[in-house]
Every structure is written in structure tokens, then in C-alpha cells.
Structure 1
Amino acid sequence: MSWLFGSALRTTMVERADALPGRESPAFEVPTTHTVLGTPLAGPWPDGTRVLYLASGCFWGAEKAAWQLPGVVTTAVGYMGGYTPNPTYEEVCTGRTGHAETVLVAYDPTKLSDVDLLRHFWEEHDPTQGFRQGNDVGTQYRSAVYTTTPEQQAAALATRTEFAPRLRANGYGDITTEIRPAADAGPFFYAEGYHQQYLDKNPAGYCPINSTGVACPIPTGA
């Protein structure tokens, strides 16, 4: 989506001291309900629901892929991993907030395991491209996993370890995906309402597919 606002296509991370100042409260209202699943975007969700934050380029297509998975309770798009509080989409597109376009995935781990969700994540994009996905160039399009449980963190690292040699064997470079606890990455800021479930509202909308076509194996012992 970098073409939408003529972004500077920033390919180096902004320093905290140089980030945009942001604001104390959101600059817009966010819908409360998922347009496809009919579930709350921000909870409350059923007991036992887990949340994982995934960044894999343009969040429109990534969110649609996630809400179609069995066991997903809700999804939402937003901005995470940066410095600017309560950013707008236009600000994120400048590369001066430090955020990645991120999908919140709330799911039932008895129906969708951490490993299976992460295998889907690895397979749906090219995690070797650095600050880009296909024609979308900029730090906001980087690949990232922000975990909320130790089990998710372990699964993210294990699936990366299994996937990396498969990618190299198929001619790809090293995985550049950022993996860290959500608590270290900073808050998830919900994106503007028109971004939420964008491809449900706009079925013919921009939806890049940047999969490598390489399958991610199940880690030993998973």
C-alpha cells in the first residue's frame, strides 16, 4: 500500500528521538465488532482465548487470511513495534513512527495451535525481504511476531528454526523476522475503521500475495 500516500519508502528504522510525537488519545474511533465474524475487536473474548500479533506486509490481505482460519475468534489491524503513541495511517506510512502494519489474532488454542497459526504466518509471506513485501517497501511492511505467552515465543522460535533451511534450500536468503514479546514491542494501536476487515468491505481491493510457496514443517516434538 506504499503507493497510496506517496510514502518516502523508508528502509531504515527511525530512532526513538526522531520519531513523530503522536498524541495522548486516538485521533479516530474504531468499530467495536468484526464485520465477518461478528465478534468484538477488542474483547471481551471467551475464557482461554489467546492473542498473537503478526506482521507480514500489507495488513489488509494478512487479516483476511487470518480470519478465515478455523479457531480464530477475531482479528483486527493496527500498528505495533514503534514509538509514536496513537499514530494515524498517514503517519505510519512516513516511516517516522517505527510501527509495523500488524494483525491482532485472537484464537482458541484448543482449535488452532500456536504452531499451526505460526506455520500459516510463515507460509503466507516472504520473511526474508527485510523492510518490504513485494512492491510494498518501507519499515512498516517488515515481518514480525509479537508474542503474549512463553509458549508462543517458543513456538515462534522453533518454527523459524525449522523453516529457515527450507527457505535457503529453495534459493531464499536469511529470515529477517523480528520475534519478541509483545510487552517489549509496545502497545498495539488499532488502525482506522476503514482498514478493519478492509477486504470484506472492498472484495476487489488491493490484496498482494507474497508467499514463497515453501511449506513450513512442524517442529520436532510439537
Structure 2
Amino acid sequence: MTLLTSWPDSGPATVLRRTCDPAEIAAALKPLGVRYEQWPVREDLPHDADGERVSAAYRPQIDRLSAEEGFTTVDVLGLHPGDDPEYPVRAKAAREKFLQEHTHDDDDEVRFFVSGSGVFYLHVGAEVHAVLCERGDLLGVPRGTTHWFDMGTRPSFTAIRFFHEEDGWIGNFTGSAISSRFPDFDSLAAGHRRDGGTV
């Protein structure tokens, strides 16, 4: 179940909004220019399906969104614990790359969660909005939006990524330490589970 939590950007002591209702989440994010929608989940896909199988399973949705938004490049990114001895190193490096506040000049950041979960933190105006995305969620963060992403200390997710530019992900880091002042993925997910949500 998706979770949206909003705080003042001064810190998380005051919760301005907390909701798991998809319609409320979409309505809250729309004025920020953020696209949020849910796609039907493919139950026949294993959580760690490879990119070719994921792309084939979601081909109608991929083609529709690419036509609507003019995306030229689509890929699949997966990171799951397993038998790979390099997983701890790869997981740590991937998490650290996205965990610092940044923007994108030339592209939106559009992700569909095929499996697993992650949190996008949107720093817009004087507020921070944490969107805990799970399987079936699509989030589109417009270019220029200050944000960061946390996949947790033990990442497990597969996501379809959409790009307008062939260069893919290029971040402009702000140098701010704001991400360290807000609850991380592990804290949000644990609290969400206690409240009856799934992660």
C-alpha cells in the first residue's frame, strides 16, 4: 500500500499529511506537477524477473506512456538480495548515489515499480513529501524538482525507467544535507508495516 507523508522542510517533527489513499495521493501530488498512477500488477512475474520478461509483460503500458510523453528510452533496473556475492557492495553504492538531494535539468524521473518498494522524497517549496512507492505504482517527478530517493539498507526492487534523453540518469546535486534530517526508507517502511501497510 502506497504511503504519502508530508512535513515542513525544517524537519519531521510536524506531520502535515499522511495518507494511503491513492486518490488523495494523486490529488496532493498533481499541483506539484508529479504524476502518480497505479497500473495492474502482473502476478505471473517473479519479483526478480529479468528486463526482457518485464518489458514484454508491461509492453501495452510502456507503449502507451511512451507515446503520451515522448519517451525515447526505456529500461529495467533490478536489485535484489540473493546468491550474488557482490550484492552488498552494489546495493550500498546504488543507495548512496540516489540518497543525496539533487535535480535533473534535461529529463523527468519516471519510474514504475514492478516489484519491491522505494521512497521518493520531493522537496518543493517549504515542504518535503515522501512517497513510499510499492509494486504497481508509477511516479513521475518533473525535471527541475529537487528530490532524493532511498531504496533502504537492503534494497529489493525492480523498476521500469523512462527517459526522454538517451544519456539516462544525470543528477545535479545540491550539496544539502537535508536528506539526513528526515526518516529514511527503513524507518518509514517499518512504521507503515506497524500501521497495517505492506512493504
What TM-score, normalized by structure 2, do the two folds share? 0.26
Which structure: greater strand fraction? Answer: 2
What TM-score, normalized by structure 1, do the two folds share? 0.25
